[in-house]
Structure 1
Amino acid sequence: MGAAATLVAPWRGLSPAVWILVAARTVNRVGAFTLPFLGVVLTVEFGASLGQAGLVLALFGAATIPSRLLGGRLADRLGRRRTIVLGLTGCAVAQAWIALSSSLWSAVLATALLGLVFEIYEPPSQAMIADVTEPDRRPAAYGLYSAALAAAGVLAGLLAAAISHVDLRWLFVADAFTCLACAVLVALALPTGEQAAPQEARVTVWRDGRLLLLLASGTIFATLYMQLVIGLPLTLLEEGLTPSGFGIILAVSAVVLIVAQRLVRPQRLDDFASIAIGYVLLGVGLLISAFAQSLAIFLLATVFWSLGDLFLLTRYLTQASGLAPDHARGRYLAVFGLSWGIATMIAPITVTKLLELAGPKGLWLTSAALAVVLAILQPWFRKRLTRVPASCPTDRRAALN
């Protein structure tokens, strides 16, 4: 009991709405083990060639970009809760459609729909966390959110391994069920979160240079993160290690993220100091990966880059939410969230090209150098991101620190 209380301590006093959102997203994340198997389903169940499956998966990835923008706009116009329910219900419909498809074209259309609704949930959920949490508590709230997703991701992998031995279409049925369960939980338990923008306070999100600068920085971070996800399994193969070791790496990463939230207390730092430390830790982890030849050394690297993620990911979200006027927070977070869609398209190219040209050592040394550069640049980012435009509220600067 004492250990549990110690781990929960950083999150005491958070709004019940935060806990409901975290619970719903965790359940949904546990059920979201279908995507790694989508290419397999397209080829095995629907007879698609590898080239066709690749094109369909690319279509899905491209569709997630307007999906996130739509989620941000609806969050500010329709309301947080309604948008979350809409997104989750849409995912359930698309997943069920894939499971019930009898032809490749039907599955392709369902996959496109899944991409268009897949990211609708994220901007309103992240915006609502900011809505109900004081600025100085947002790192803790977003930290809880990311820790829960990390833990759920490990469980999702175990469930995927168990269910994938039966008909693969049952994976999509299970995911559809969890999406509907989350939609019901959100509809019944969350406050409405209505956040309609007054006509005289309309903003053009794309004209905020600070947000675009943050988007560029966040895209580099997301690309480094996605390079780890894509590049580590390939590196393990290059070093003659079993790919199953990547599952162990993911499990260790999740444990580090959860436990370190209490032991390290990153919430005590301001955003820019936290990000600088995060990039240094990430760089150390990437540097160790460059010279690792055994699973034990890769796990040591995992501890460092996972600690770096702890300092980085939540602070980028607090910065994006702090820049936004209250009535445009959903759209600001949606635009910032594009960093992950862009990174998902860039990382496969950078990983494969660097592995071809310089091998695993070149890939991770290049990535480590980029992380260190970003750590050094944080005073420069502080100066520009804390510069408050005349049109913004005077307390916007405080929200970033």
Structure 2
Amino acid sequence: MTTQAPVPAPDYGCGAGKVVLGRYELGRVLGRGATAKVYLARDLSSGLSVALKSIPKSRPQGGGGGGGDGDGGASPAAILREISSLRRLRHPHVARLHGVLASRSRIYLALELARGGNLLSRLESRGPGPGPGGEQQQQEELARRYFRQLISAVGYAHSRGVFHRDLKPENLLLDERGDLKVTDFGLSAQTAHLRPDDGLLHTICGTPAYVAPEILSKQGYDGAKVDIWSCGVVLFALNAGYLPFNHPNLITMYKKICRAQYRCPKWTSPDLRHLLSRILDPDPHTRITLDGIVAHPWFARGLDVGRWTAVMRLGDGDDDDDDGDGKDQMDRDGRALNAFDIISLAPGCDLSGLFGAGRDRDRFWTGRSRWPAPRGGGPAGSGRRGSEGSCSRGKTVISSPASRFTRLPPERRWWWSSRGTGLRTGGSGKRG
């Protein structure tokens, strides 16, 4: 989690002159978390102001935990989850990922800039209660607006197979119009991460005050249902100005969460009180669904159904592919990006190619020494242990003292291998 302060106006005076990998000019620090810093930055090629998230690669020893200064290092898995999830999402209430760059020691994510800070700062400045002058109705309307935007983003993410798993006010930013933007997908999961035997997630993660009871039970859980629970905690905080489950002793707080022991403030309307009881249901099997939330009287009051439907459909078929084929590379491959795709690329490179299918690129597979090159070549990706990567078509993709592999045209799926001084050539086997 990285806390981001409001951005009054573009100001590149602090840190001006420092350019990251020849692409982004750094400005002042917008926020920092345990494993990252966020800078105001300007894209030198387009002039676009962005929030540049600088994430140190985790150190082999003694640097993985982070100390709150943004230099502790993030695990490759967390970085990959965030990039892979954001690439799937194009929604007005999800902070957009503009690009990714990498150096020897850091990964940089260029994110949509939200100038209004985060929702936590807004809640803290307001304090507990219905608002100044006892304006309960105005406060409830504002809570309804933010909650609708949150549900639209979460519902869209779920439709794209992405579960956030760390929804909380710190990760909900506000733009200059006061609209909400979901960010920080470092703990997200995708449908590809579901365990095959039960179709559930099993990683224990999240922020204590927002975590769902089923995660605390250390059993498998539905990613959509835990996100709904967290949305309920956010809704409670929007209405009350404080959290429903909060205690200095974590064990006591977890007991309250598992029993759904909370008390709505007296100014809470009956409809909102009922909706909260349906969302903060400790039994995930009877907890309300996203469709149920949208149909609930409190949520549906004054809702423009046509506009809502249009917002939910935004991004369908739009995966930001350069080649316009309408499919995301991860969807075609049937998996999320792996560590080789991002972390192990050459230092100092621009990873913008990850944001499109890349017409001029193909995947390759090269084996270890335990994989001797068969006579006459063999099929690429034959299932043996090896390393995966990509390169331009028709070029040598990897070399070593023992072997060299070259990708053939698309209709072929064989590689050529030279071993020692003798050249072994492959056949012309067709794909399939």
Q: TM-score range by the shorter chain?
A: under 0.3
Please, what TM-score do these two structures have when normalized by structure 2? 0.24
**Structure label with greater radius of gyration:** 2
The structure in which a higher percent of residues are helix is 1
The structure in which a higher percent of residues are strand is 2
- Flag the structure with more relative contact order, 1 or 2, with Cα contacts below 8 A and sequence separation at least 6: 1
